[in-house]
Amino acid sequence: MAELKFNTDKVKDIESFIKLCPFGAIEYKNGELHPNAACKMCKLCIKKGPEGAAYIVEHEKEAVDKSLWQGICVYAEQVRGKVHPVAYELIGKARELVKVTNQKVYCLMIGHNCDASANDLLRYGVDEVFVYDDICLEHFNIEPYTAVFENYINNNKPSAILVGATPVGRQLAPRVAARFRTGLTADCTVLQMDENTDLQQIRPAFGGNIMAQIHTPNNRPQMATVRYKIFEKAQPVEKITGKITHCSLDGINLKSRINVISVDDKPPVKSIENAEIIVAVGRGFKKVEDIEMAKTLAKKLGAEIACTRPLVENGTFDAKCQIGLSGRTVRPKLIITLGISGAVQFAAGMNNSDYIIAVNSDPKASIFKIAHCGIVGDIYKIVPQLIERLG
Amino acid sequence: MNIIVCIKQVPGSNKAEVDPVTGVLKRDGNDTKMNPYDLYAVETAVRLKEQSGGKVSVITMGPPSAESVIREAFAMGADEGFILTDRKFAGADVLATSYTISQGIKMAGEYDLILCGKQTTDGDTAQVGPEISEYLNIPCIANVTSIEEIGDKGLTVLMDMQTAIEKCFIEYPCLVSVDKDIFLPRLPSYVKMKASKDQKINFITYEDLPDKDETKVGLNGSPTKVQRIFPPSVNDKRELFSGTAEEMTETVLTKLKENKFI
């Protein structure tokens, strides 16, 4: 437990102290300074304010016994018997992380008739797959799924739980985290393990060009979600040593106030997540019509077209074309960004691409910090020439 | 039907940056707006009210200045507003925020439905909705793209699962997070804005909460801790070219050939 406090007497210039806070979270009332509800605990006031003006008071809190919580569990989400590919990426990362702590990698699978899928997970070096199989778990339904997850955690006490940031994972993980009153970090892009089993979770934060390193020092389990295509898929092992454990549903409340009426396939749409080549457009295009040239270029390269957030917000593109933290994460072999400045919000969704070519007129654009080939120039001149030369 | 919509005040732009030398976060703290995804939730609530009657309340947690997003919701058709604001709420992570808002909801009266936007543009986590539902012990569904039927006992909705669509019936009281584009949000009405100018907003402080437990709110109630913030890493195998459009076109073509894309 900790609390941020201010010592008003140590602040000579109240106004500039208030301005230190990028969130406007410092209040001055009745001659006293206080942090308000906008505080994000970035601690810049401590770092940049006068010595002793801002400080943290630590209250003693009963420490969690971390040794009771062992190993990393990957939630292996399956929809109608098919495991979501993000699970294999999380297994790969989990195997890397447990090298530090010398612990095990587990998978939790909830569904119906999922033995084949569970067996397949063992090929990727999972030590134990816990399967909860029942007809009433066939389709995702948050209440029984949370109850099963709770049962798994209580019986097995994993130190950390990784969940794919899929439409299912993004609802199920927070519901489970709240049940255990524990921390959950969304959309992590880097995970590291400390020797004391604390999971270091790094993600883009505050909607801006900033990364935050977050941990859960005094709660277990530690929980994190990770998008598809952030980590690399696990390598198969030569010899399978793991096992499958079928878990009993006795005593688990599988009742739900949600009734799944039907589950229908969505008509397959070309998705930017599966594209090998992407042409991405940003606000450098001044008019909607101008984007046609980017589409022509994409066609010549056999690429899918994608865009940044502003072009979805202004209605030019459908949300499924959006790359970024609030859109899709892509990992193509090649991405050409046109007129995109490269805010971290966007970069987080594409900076794992194998090769990045960026064309932008501003030599200081942050996209050039991640582009393998940065081209300072005018898209209105270069794109038409490229189209012509590609024939 | 009584509906409560959870909304949030977010920075007006996402141009926050860390100065790589001083480590200072540079952002204009005064430029704020309603989280764009919340507009869809407010719109959904107002449409449901227009169809089946009832009341729409909005609730937010934030500094006292978050009053502006409540006023914006009034101008869209919301009837009541609640702000959870207290310095004890400072430094709250997802868990503490969800707990505090769930406490506020308990004070906002009887409800059938709680609506949330898909996510916020400053946190981007999409986690607060499901966590609130857990604290209130009600069912929840996220990624809702359509409300098919408004029944006496619950809603029939479509949930987008990316490769599939799940059609579900969810009993009241419940929490639903709506996707962007469920409805086109209306513009705030000038007439409603004028009419609600002096409307009272309910301020809720820590002392007002039904469960006063300092270990559950603000920094104390936050299991996650931000250890440091830093500028994103840069790619070290990068090249930057500048020159005439012809030269640049040539460079792109060379790179495409070198990497066997053409």
Residue A19: CB partners within 8 Å, gap ≥ 6? B29
Domain presence at residue A255: no
Domain CATH for A132:
3.40.50.620
Domain count for chain B, please give it.
1
pLDDT over 70 percentage in chain A = 98
Q: What H or E segment, with its residue span, contains residue A98?
A: helix A86-101
Statement to judge: residues A227 and A291 lie in one domain: no
**Does the pLDDT of residue B120 top 60, yes or no?**
yes
Note whether A50 and A129 are same-domain residues.
no
| Interface predicted TM-score of the whole assembly (ipTM), two decimals | 0.89
Quick check: is B137 in a domain? yes
Please tell me whether residues A93 and A219 are part of one structural domain. Answer: yes
Indicate the residue of B91, B127, B139 with minimum beta-carbon distance to A186.
Answer: B127
Residue B185 gets which letter from DSSP?
P
**Is residue A251 included in any domain, yes or no?**
no
Looking at beta carbons, which residues of chain A come within 8 Å of B137? none
Q: Which of residues B13 and B104 earns the better pLDDT score?
A: B104
A157: phi then psi, degrees, rounded to nearest 5? 45, 60
Residues of A with Cβ-Cβ distance to B226 under 8 angstroms: 40-43, 205, 212-214
Say yes or no: A384 contacts chain B, CB-CB below 8 A. no
In a domain, A277, yes or no: yes
Question: CA-to-CA distance for B249 and B256, rounded, in angstroms?
Answer: 11
For residues A84 and A117, membership in a common domain is answered with yes
Which of A128-142, A183-197, B169-183, B229-243 has the weakest average pLDDT? Answer: B229-243
Q: Establish if A205 touches chain B: CB-CB under 8 angstroms.
A: yes
Structure tokens given for A379? 């898209």
Does residue A253 fall inside a structural domain? no
**pLDDT of residue A383 exceeding 90:** yes
Could you count the other beta carbons within 10 Å of the beta carbon of residue A214? Answer: 23
Say if residue A137 is in the same domain as residue A14.
no
* Same-domain check for residues A180 and A303: no
**Over 60: is that where the pLDDT of A1 sits?**
no
| Domain-located, residue A6 | yes
Q: Is the pLDDT of residue A131 over 70?
A: yes
User: Residue A200 in contact with residue A160, Cβ under 8 Å?
Assistant: no
Instruction: Confirm whether A258 is domain-assigned.
Output: no
Report the residue of B61, B163, B169, B182 to disrupt the A interface, i.e. the one with the largest count of A CBs within 10 Å: B163
Binary contact (A262, B24; C-beta < 8 A): no
How confident is the model over B54-87, as pLDDT tens digits? 999 999 999 999 999 999 999 999 999 999 999 8
B158: domain CATH number is 3.40.50.620
Tell me: pLDDT of B236 over 80. no
Calpha distance B146→B247 (Å, rounded): 50
Do A98 and A127 have their domain in common? yes
- Say how many domains are in chain A: 3
Provide the phi-psi class of A183: left if phi over 0, else alpha when psi is between -120 and 50, else beta: beta
Q: Domain holding A15: CATH number?
A: 3.30.70.20
Q: Is the Cα torsion angle A170, A176, A179, A181 positive or negative in sign?
A: negative
Q: What is the pLDDT of residues B198-224, one digit of tens each?
A: 999 999 999 999 999 999 999 899 999
Residue range of the domain that includes A194: 66-246
User: pLDDT tens, A146-201?
Assistant: 999 999 999 999 999 999 999 999 999 999 999 999 999 999 999 999 999 999 99
Residue B20 has pLDDT above 70, yes or no: no
Residue B261: CB atoms within 10 Å: 18
Of all helices (H) and strands (E), which one includes residue B98? helix B94-107
Q: Is residue A90 part of a domain?
A: yes
- Could you tell me the strand order of the sheet in which A160-164 lies? A184-185, A222-226, A160-164, A72-75, A105-111, A128-133, A243-246
Average pLDDT in the A104-110 region? Answer: 98
| CA-based nearest distance A290→chain B, Å | 18
Q: Tell me the per-residue pLDDT of A232-267, one tens digit each, with 9 for 90 and over.
A: 899 999 999 999 999 999 999 999 999 999 999 887
A3, A372, A373 member nearest B220 (Cβ):
A3
Q: Are residue A214 and residue A286 in the same domain, yes or no? A: no
Expressed as residue numbers, the domain containing B210 is 2-221
Residue A38 is assigned to a structural domain of this protein: yes
With a cut of 60, say whether residue A385 has pLDDT above it: yes
Judge whether B238 lies within some domain: no
